[in-house]
C-alpha cells in the first residue's frame, strides 16, 4: 500500500533501529550505562594512542589548546542546522506620519489626552469631513512620541456598501498587535489577547475610521499601562459609558485660518469679508474648506469675491458641489479618466501600482497627484488611493473601456498574488497580503464576472488560499472558495469550479461539518463524471469524506490508492500526505477492532500505523512543511497512546504543539491541548486543575463543531459536575453536523458517553 523505494525502506529501518536503541537505554540502569560509557572511553583512548603515537611532544602540546575550541565550534555549527521555528510575523502596518499643528482643535486634543489618562479607552466621534482621523492621529503622537509605542489599524474595508464585520476588525487588530488572527473564532475571543498584548506596554492603539460601535464593542473597557483610541463616524448608538469626544464644525476664526493657509495670507487679507463668506458656505467642514482652498490655490487669478457671487446664486444643496464640479472640469484627460474609473469600481481603494494597471500605463503618480491636490482622492495607508466621500459613482453602465480596465486590474492582482504567494511566509509577502486580502476578496466577488478573467481570478483565489491557510482564517478560506466557485460557474470554467468546491469541502471537514462538506464534494465530482479523470486532490478529499462520515475502510483504502496513482513520482509533499492518511486509516481500523474485543489485531494495526507515520515524518522533514510534520507527530501521539506508551505520546504531542505554534496553526494546537488533557486523565494521579487549564486554553481555538470540541466538553463535564448540563449540551451541539447522516464509530461512542452523563 505504501509503495516506497528500497532506499527509503533502508533509511527508515536505520532510523527506527536508532530510535529503538535509544528507547532501551533506560533499561540498562546506572550500572549498565557506566559499563557502556566506560567501554566507549576505552575505545577512544586506544584510538588516540594509535593516532598520536608517531607525533612529537611539542606538536601534541600545540594541538591541546585549539582542538577543544574547534570541537566546540563544530558542535555549534551542527546545532545551528536545526534552528527552532521562527516566531510568526503578521504584517503589522506602520503608524501614519506626525501631523503638523491642527487648526481649531486644541481643546479636543487636550480632552483626548485627559480622558486617555483617566479611562484608558477614548472614543473620538465626528461626521465625515470634520478631520476625525487627523485629530486622533495627532493625539496618539502627543500620547506616545516614540514610534515603537504606536499601533495603528485602519478599519475601512474595500467595499463601500458593507463595513467590516466585528470578527474581521478583531483579526485586523490582532495582526496589529503581532498576534495570530486565526486564533479566534469570534470577536469576543480577541478581548483577552488585546489585554495581554497591551497591559503595561505603554503603547497607544489607534483604531481609525470605525463606522459602527458594534465593530469594536468587544474591546476591553480599560487596559492598565496602555491607551486605546477609537475614532470614526459611528452610525449606531454609543454606550453611555463611552462619553465620546465630539468633533463639530470649525469655528469662523479657525475656518478662516485654515483657508488662509492654502491661499496665502496676502490673498486672504485683500478681501476678509469674502473669506468669511466662503468659510460660511463650507458650513465649517474642514474637508470642504481644504477643497475650496486647493481650488483657489490652483486658480490664483480668480478673486474670492467672484467665487462668493457664484455660490450665492445657488441653492444651499448645490453650493458644496459647485467647487467640486469646477475641479472636475479642470482636470486633464488622464486624471479625468482615472476619476471616472475609480468612482465606478466595486473596490473602494487601490494602491498606486493597481491604479497604473487600471489606466494601462507604467505609472499614474501625476494623475493621482492632480486628483489629490484638488481633494478628489485621498492617499490612505501610505500609497493607497481612495475616492473621497464627496464624489459619488456616476452609475453609468459598463463600457468597453471600463471592461478592459477591469481586466487589466484583475490581471495585475493575479500577478501580485502569484509573486507574493510564492514568497510566503516572508515578512514582505505577509505585509502585502495583510493590506490587500480584502481587496482581493472584493475582486473575486464582482457580479457578474467580466469575461476572459477566469484564469486570473483562479490565481487570485490560489494566493488567498495560501495566505488564509497560513493565518488559519478558515471562514475567509471558505468565502474565497465560494466566490471562486460562483465566478467559475458563471464563466463556465469547470476546472476552477471543481477546485473551488474541493476547497470548500476541505475547509468544512477541518471545521467539523461533514454534511456540508459532502455537498461540495458531490458538486466537484459531478464536474468530473469519470473517476479516471479525477485530479489527485479529488481522490484525497473523497478519502477524507469517507473517513469523516463512516467506517467504509475498503472504500477509503481504494481512494487513497487512486490518490497515490494520480500523484507524480516527484511530488514528495503529496506522497507524505498520502502516508499520513494511510496511517489515519490504520488507526481507525485498529480502534474498530479494539472495540470488538480483537486487541492483538488492533495492536498490530497501531504498530503498522506508527511505522508508516515515522516514514511520513522523515519525508516531511525533507519538504520543510512544518504542518505536515506537526500532523505526523499528532497522529504518532495517538498511536503511542493506543499502544499504552503514554510517555512517548506526551513527547510527540509536545513536538506537534511546538510545530503548530511555529506555523501559527491555532486549530492544530487546540487539538494537541485536548489530547494532552486526555493523556493526563489516563494517569491515576492527575491534577484536575491542570487538565481544566489545558481544556480552557484550547476552547477559544476550537471550531464550534467537531470531535475535538465534543471531546473537550466531555472531559470538562466530568471535571465540573456543577456545570455538567452546560457541557453536555455543548458537546452534543458539536456533534450535530452528523445528525441524520452516517457517522463513524468514534462519533457514535462519543455521543453515547455524552448522553450517559
Q: How far, in Å, CA of 223 to CA of 227, rounded? A: 7
Q: How confident is the model over 243-247, as a mean pLDDT?
A: 92
pLDDT band at 354 (very low <50, low <70, confident <90, very high): very high
Percent helix, strand and coil across the chain, each rounded to 5? Answer: 70, 5, 25
Task: Choose between 662 and 409: higher pLDDT.
Answer: 409
Q: What is the pLDDT of residue 67?
A: 53
Q: Residue 121: beta bridge partners? A: 228
Q: How far, in Å, CA of 461 to CA of 661, rounded? A: 25
Q: How far, in Å, CA of 186 to CA of 27, rounded? A: 50
Q: How far, in Å, CA of 345 to CA of 347, rounded? A: 5
Task: Choose between 280 and 21: higher pLDDT.
Answer: 280
DSSP character string of 670-724 = HHHHHHHHHHHHHSTT--HHHHHHHHHHHGGGS-SSSHHHHHHHHHHHHH-GGGH
With residue 125 as reference, give the H or E element that holds it. Answer: strand 121-125
Task: Choose between 101 and 681: higher pLDDT.
Answer: 681
Cα angle value 548/504/188 (rounded, 5°):
90
CB 166 within 8 A of CB 187: yes
Q: How confident is the model over 610-626, as a mean pLDDT?
A: 90
Residue matched to cell numbers 472584493: 442
Residue matched to cell numbers 488533557: 677
State phi, psi for 152 to the nearest 5 degrees.
-135, 135
Residue-wise pLDDT tens digits, 216-244: 999 999 999 999 999 999 988 898 888 89
**Which of 261-275, 400-414, 464-478, 670-684 ranks highest by mean pLDDT?**
400-414
Residue-wise pLDDT tens digits, 404-435: 999 999 999 999 999 999 998 888 898 899 88
CB 185 within 8 A of CB 703: yes
Residue-wise pLDDT tens digits, 253-281: 999 999 999 899 889 888 999 999 999 88
Residue matched to cell numbers 504543539: 657
Residue-wise pLDDT tens digits, 82-121: 444 444 445 566 788 877 778 999 999 999 999 998 888 9
| Cα Rg of the chain (Å, integer) | 32
Amino acid at each position: 500500500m505504501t509503495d516506497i523505494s528500497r532506499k527509503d525502506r533502508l533509511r527508515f529501518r536505520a532510523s527506527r533501529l536508532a530510535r529503538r536503541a535509544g528507547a532501551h537505554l533506560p533499561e540498562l540502569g546506572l550500572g549498565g550505562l557506566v559499563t557502556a560509557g566506560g567501554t566507549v572511553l576505552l575505545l577512544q583512548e586506544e584510538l588516540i594512542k594509535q593516532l598520536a603515537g608517531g607525533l612529537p611532544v611539542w606538536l601534541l602540546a600545540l594541538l591541546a589548546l585549539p582542538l577543544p575550541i574547534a570541537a566546540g565550534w563544530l558542535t555549534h555549527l551542527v546545532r545551528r542546522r536545526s534552528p527552532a521555528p521562527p516566531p510568526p510575523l503578521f504584517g503589522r502596518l506602520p503608524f501614519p506620519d506626525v501631523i503638523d499643528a491642527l487648526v481649531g482643535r486644541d481643546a479636543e486634543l487636550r480632552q483626548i489626552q485627559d480622558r486617555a489618562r483617566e479611562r484608558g479607552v477614548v472614543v473620538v466621534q465626528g461626521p465625515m469631513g470634520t478631520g476625525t482621523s487627523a485629530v486622533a492621529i495627532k493625539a496618539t503622537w502627543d500620547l506616545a512620541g516614540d514610534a515603537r509605542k504606536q499601533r495603528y489599524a485602519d478599519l475601512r474595508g474595500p467595499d463601500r456598501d458593507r463595513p467590516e464585520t466585528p470578527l474581521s476588525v478583531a483579526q485586523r487588530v490582532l495582526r496589529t498587535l503581532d498576534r495570530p488572527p486565526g486564533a479566534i473564532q469570534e470577536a469576543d475571543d480577541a478581548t483577552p489577547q488585546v489585554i495581554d498584548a497591551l497591559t503595561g506596554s505603554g503603547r497607544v492603539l489607534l483604531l481609525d475610521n470605525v463606522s459602527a460601535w458594534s465593530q469594536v464593542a468587544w474591546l476591553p473597557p480599560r487596559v492598565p499601562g496602555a491607551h486605546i483610541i477609537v475614532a470614526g463616524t459611528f452610525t449606531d448608538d454609543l454606550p453611555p459609558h463611552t462619553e465620546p469626544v465630539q468633533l463639530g464644525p470649525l469655528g469662523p476664526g479657525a475656518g478662516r485660518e485654515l483657508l488662509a493657509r492654502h491661499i496665502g495670507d496676502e490673498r486672504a487679507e485683500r478681501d476678509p469679508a469674502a473669506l468669511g463668506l466662503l468659510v460660511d458656505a463650507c458650513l465649517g467642514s474642514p474637508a470642504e474648506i481644504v477643497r475650496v482652498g486647493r481650488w483657489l490655490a490652483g486658480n490664483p487669478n480668480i478673486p474670492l469675491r467672484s467665487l462668493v457671487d457664484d455660490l450665492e446664486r445657488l441653492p444651499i444643496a448645490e453650493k458644496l458641489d459647485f467647487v467640486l464640479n469646477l475641479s472636475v472640469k479642470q482636470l486633464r484627460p488622464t486624471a479625468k479618466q482615472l476619476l471616472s474609473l475609480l468612482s465606478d469600481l466595486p473596490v473602494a481603494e487601490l494602491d498606486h501600482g493597481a491604479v497604473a494597471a487600471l489606466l494601462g500605463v507604467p505609472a499614474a503618480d501625476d494623475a493621482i497627484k492632480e486628483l489629490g491636490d484638488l481633494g478628489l482622492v485621498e492617499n490612505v495607508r501610505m500609497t493607497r488611493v481612495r475616492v473621497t466621500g464627496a464624489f459619488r459613482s456616476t452609475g453609468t453602465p459598463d463600457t468597453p473601456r471600463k471592461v478592459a480596465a477591469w481586466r487589466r486590474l484583475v490581471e495585475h492582482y493575479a500577478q501580485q498574488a502569484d509573486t507574493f504567494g510564492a514568497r510566503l511566509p516572508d515578512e514582505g509577502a505577509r505585509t502585502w497580503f495583510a493590506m490587500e486580502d480584502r481587496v482581493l476578496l472584493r475582486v473575486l466577488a464582482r457580479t457578474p464576472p467580466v469575461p476572459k478573467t477566469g484564469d486570473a481570478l483562479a490565481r487570485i483565489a490560489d494566493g488567498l488560499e495560501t495566505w488564509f491557510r497560513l493565518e488559519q482564517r478558515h471562514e475567509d478560506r471558505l468565502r474565497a472558495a465560494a466566490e471562486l466557485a460562483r465566478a467559475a460557474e458563471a464563466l463556465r470554467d469547470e476546472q476552477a469550479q471543481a477546485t473551488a468546491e474541493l476547497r470548500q469541502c476541505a475547509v468544512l471537514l477541518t471545521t467539523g461539518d461533514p454534511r456540508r462538506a459532502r455537498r461540495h464534494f458531490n458538486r466537484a465530482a459531478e464536474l468530473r463524471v469519470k473517476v479516471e479523470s479525477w485530479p489527485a486532490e479529488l481522490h484525497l478529499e473523497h478519502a477524507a469524506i469517507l473517513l469523516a462520515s463512516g467506517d467504509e475502510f475498503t472504500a477509503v483504502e481504494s481512494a487513497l490508492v487512486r490518490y497515490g496513482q494520480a500523484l507524480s513520482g516527484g511530488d514528495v509533499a503529496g506522497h507524505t500526505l498520502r502516508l499520513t492518511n494511510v496511517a489515519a486509516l490504520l488507526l481507525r481500523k485498529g480502534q474498530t477492532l479494539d472495540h470488538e474485543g480483537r486487541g492483538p489485531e488492533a495492536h498490530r494495526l497501531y504498530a503498522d500505523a506508527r511505522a508508516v507515520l515515522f516514514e511520513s515524518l522523515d519525508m516531511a522533514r525533507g519538504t520543510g512543511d512544518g504542518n505536515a510534520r506537526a500532523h505526523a507527530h499528532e497522529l504518532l501521539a495517538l498511536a503511542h497512546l493506543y499502544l499504552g506508551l503514554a510517555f512517548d505520546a506526551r513527547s510527540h504531542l509536545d513536538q506537534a504543539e511546538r510545530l503548530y505554534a511555529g506555523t501559527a496553526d491555532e486549530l492544530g494546537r487546540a487539538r494537541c491541548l485536548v489530547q494532552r488533557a486526555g493523556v493526563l486523565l489516563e494517569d491515576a494521579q492527575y491534577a484536575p486543575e491542570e487538565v481544566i487549564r489545558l481544556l480552557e486554553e484550547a476552547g477559544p481555538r476550537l471550531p464550534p463543531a467537531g470531535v475535538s470540541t465534543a471531546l473537550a466538553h466531555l472531559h470538562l463535564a466530568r471535571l465540573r459536575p456543577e456545570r455538567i448540563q452546560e457541557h453536555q449540551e455543548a458537546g452534543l451541539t458539536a456533534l450535530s453536523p452528523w445528525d441524520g447522516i452516517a457517522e463513524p464509530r468514534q462519533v457514535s461512542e462519543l455521543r453515547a458517553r455524552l448522553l450517559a452523563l
